[in-house]
Amino acid sequence: MPLGRRIHYYWPVFERLFTHPLWAYRTGTFAFASAWPIGLLITSILVAAALVAWSLWRRRALGWRLVVPVGVLQTLLLALILCLLWRPVLNVERVRDRENELAIAVDASASMAYGDAGQSRLQEVAAALQNGTLQRLEKTFAVRLFGFAQATTPLNNLEAMPPPGRQTRIGDALHQVLQSAGSAPLAGVILFSDGAENGDTLSEERLAEIASYGVPVHTVGLGPERVTDDLELERVEVASSAPAGSTIDAQIGIRHNGASQARLRVYDRDNLVAARDVKLRTDAATTQVSLDLPAGQAGTHELRFVLDPLEGERNVINNSRTRVVNVPATRRGILYVEGEPRWEYKFLRRSVDHDRALRVASIVRTTTNKHYRQGVNTPDELVDGFPSDPAELFGYDAVIIGSYEAAGLRAEQHRLLKEFVDKRGGTVLMLAGRYGLSAGGWQNAALAQTLPIQLTGKQPSQFVQRPGQAVLTLYGAESSIPRLDIDPRKNLDRWKKLPPLADYQSLGRLKPGAIVLLEANGEQGRSPLLIWQHYGRGATYVLATASTMRWQMRMPSEDQSHEIFWRQLLHAISSTAPARVTVNGERNVYEDERTVRLEAEVHDERFEPISDATVELQVAPERDTPFKQLMQPSGQNDGRYTASIDAASAGLYRIEMTARSGDKEVGSAVTHVLRNDGVAEHFATYQHRDLLERIANVTGGRYWPLRELAALSQAIPYSKAGIVERQTLDLWNLPIVFLVLLALKLGEWLLRLRWGRL
């Protein structure tokens, strides 16, 4: 039996023996009321012990086995009598009866409608309070009742509880209850809840504000800490946008109890796009799953993640979550610069020729002063070779530099290339080659600061013809770039079966932020092959080989490993670059929230922030009338603008942002958000005991299970808040004291009787 239940069971016996409540002993301080000094008490006890020892020493011939037990009992008896002469007392602070208020806040959210044995958690609270507990509290306090979900409502009685709410806002409820007390003395707050806070109202700042009132909050937990026979999609994380034709990486968390396997399906509206059997962990309450999904064509995709319900599962609402992914119609632009015609260039371009989401504009140096262009949109694009104007270079999302010497660019172009990563937020991919990386003198260029490796000086043995097998690292196995198959084991097997590379380049020391996705395993051991790192707003990649085309030439024609690798790599380097004009919400799905907060960024063609633009939103709800709203500057001159829109009804919202600077339109952007109603309260319906304990600890209260509510009613009068009075409770006349005196003397007499001696 738990300690709390045992205390509750033996409560009447305890009070008969000790006269005063248990909580008086737990909160009070022990003292002696007599004016006699404590030193005299200690001396008297020592003298009494010496007299007992002297009297028994005279009878030591009887043996220590008989003498010592009697001596101990006599000494304890004399010591206890002497302590009683000094009048022991207990100093306690207790609230004054009927001069303080006590607030009882009851969670009335929809999750409290769950329960067992045909009784909801809300009904359990009412039954527990009406079972004498509320009457006992009303003898000491002026009790005020509150019910809360989205809002907090004062109640005249428990029957006036509001209907189940769509959200739990514990922080707001406690704040409103504490504020409503005003100048009235509030001795404490009793919070009845399952702790399923989903309104984001219990931040560290809000907890500190609640604790600053100095009123203890006693939390009473409702519901089981683990819900049996239930599957729940606890977490679904996907990118809010993705290029057309690319792969979306979905990170999924499944909470389970009582199941070993689950079936996960993903729908794009009504079309099934993925299905997977998931083996659930037996050693943990949650299982994490990674899933690759096709981004599909341009447009707005409502991805619905669904778990097949268990047999007899009562709550199936938490088996489904919806996420919105925006797939823009615009193509990502990549600039590819090569210093010489080579096979790697040809096969790289061929792998993405039919990808509608990517455009690779390339320039290949054929002679000293002649370049060959491919993939350009206009006759003037790249006509002068590598761009010298920031607006032209920053118009691309990524740059690939192949076997090209650093000396082929001017100092201004090197500066722009570094700013392309740092300021524009683009990505640069460096390829190995006869004139690539250190062999091309890039260790002295400004771009070298952004690379994930510390390039060394030029050496003859850096780029050499030597075989090496591409091998996945631990990071590579989790990355979507080298994922040739959705199944991790099959993906590993496919990499093992790829033909070995014909060359790879020795690189310098890895920088602290570098992440290695592939390694080359050759005669001299392993060396990094594909590495990347973040830098500023962008990123840089290094691929230390020029022979990936062997994955195409030496494999069957139907094998698409080479094409898959390059498409995924080019999507990865181009998809992270921000557009000049962007608008995004805090998240793309709002559950039971009306306020949608948006943030926009506006830059000019050189990616300088525009802070004086007129930024307007055109909001088109799925069910209501479209409306317009202006966004406000952040005030930091950083080109950021914010707005909050009222999503009055559930459904999909199309939000188009247009930015104008004077009479000129800077650009526009579109995003979509989805508002769901009546969903949040059906997730995480178990008791969040850790949160309830934290609230109690921070405010000076205590956590209680519902079964110990009677003990709470005994403890709360000894609160430190409100109007309290100091009481001195005598301990010398406790029944337990006289019983102990009797037991000590009776024990001595029984020993004498048994041995027939002394």
Residue 758 in this model has a pLDDT that exceeds 60: no
Q: Residue 684 region, left (φ>0) first, then alpha (ψ -120 to 50), else beta?
A: left
**CA nearest neighbour of 173 among 146, 155, 196:** 146
Count of other CB atoms within 10 angstroms of residue 753: 9
Residue 266 in this model has a pLDDT that exceeds 90: yes
List the chain domain ranges. 3-95+727-755, 101-225+686-722, 230-326, 332-575, 581-680
pLDDT tens for 224-260 read 998 888 999 999 999 888 887 778 889 999 999 878 8
Beta carbons of 326 and 297 less than 8 angstroms apart:
no
Per-residue pLDDT, 419: 96
Q: Assign 508 a pLDDT band (cuts: 50, 70, 90).
A: confident
Per-residue pLDDT, 663: 87
Per-residue pLDDT, 5: 45
Residue 364 in this model has a pLDDT that exceeds 80: yes
- Of the ranges 140-149, 292-301, 546-555, 600-609, which one carries the lowest mean pLDDT score? 292-301
Residue 61 in this model has a pLDDT that exceeds 70: no
pLDDT tens for 631-662 read 999 988 889 999 999 998 888 999 999 999 98
Q: Assign 409 a pLDDT band (cuts: 50, 70, 90).
A: very high
> Is the entire prediction scored with pTM above 0.85?
no
pLDDT tens for 453-471 read 998 876 655 777 888 899 9
Average pLDDT of the residues in 72-99: 88
Per-residue pLDDT, 3: 42
**Higher confidence at residue 154 or residue 17?**
154
Q: CATH number for 581-680: choose from 3.30.750.24, 3.40.50.10190, 2.60.40.1930, 3.40.50.720.
A: 2.60.40.1930
**Which two three-digit tokens encode residue 704?**
């209680």
**Which two three-digit tokens encode residue 665?**
């339109």
Q: Assign 6 a pLDDT band (cuts: 50, 70, 90).
A: very low
Q: Assign 1 a pLDDT band (cuts: 50, 70, 90).
A: very low
Count of other CB atoms within 10 angstroms of residue 741: 15
* 624-649 exposure pattern, b = at least 16 Cβ within 10 A, e = fewer: eeeeebebebbeeeebbbebebebee
Q: DSSP secondary-structure letter at 185?
A: -
Give the 3-state secondary structure of residue 43: helix
**Higher confidence at residue 518 or residue 29?**
518
Residue 557 in this model has a pLDDT that exceeds 70: yes
Q: Assign 714 a pLDDT band (cuts: 50, 70, 90).
A: confident
pLDDT tens for 94-136 read 888 888 899 999 999 999 999 887 889 999 999 999 888 898 8
Per-residue pLDDT, 677: 83
Fold agreement between 101-225+686-722 and 332-575: yes
CATH architecture entry for 101-225+686-722? 3-Layer(aba) Sandwich (3.40)
Q: What CATH code is assigned to 332-575? A: 3.40.50.880
Q: CATH number for 230-326: choose from 2.60.40.10, 2.102.10.10, 3.30.70.20, 2.30.30.30.
A: 2.60.40.10
Residue 8 in this model has a pLDDT that exceeds 70: no
Residue 21 in this model has a pLDDT that exceeds 90: no
Per-residue pLDDT, 34: 86
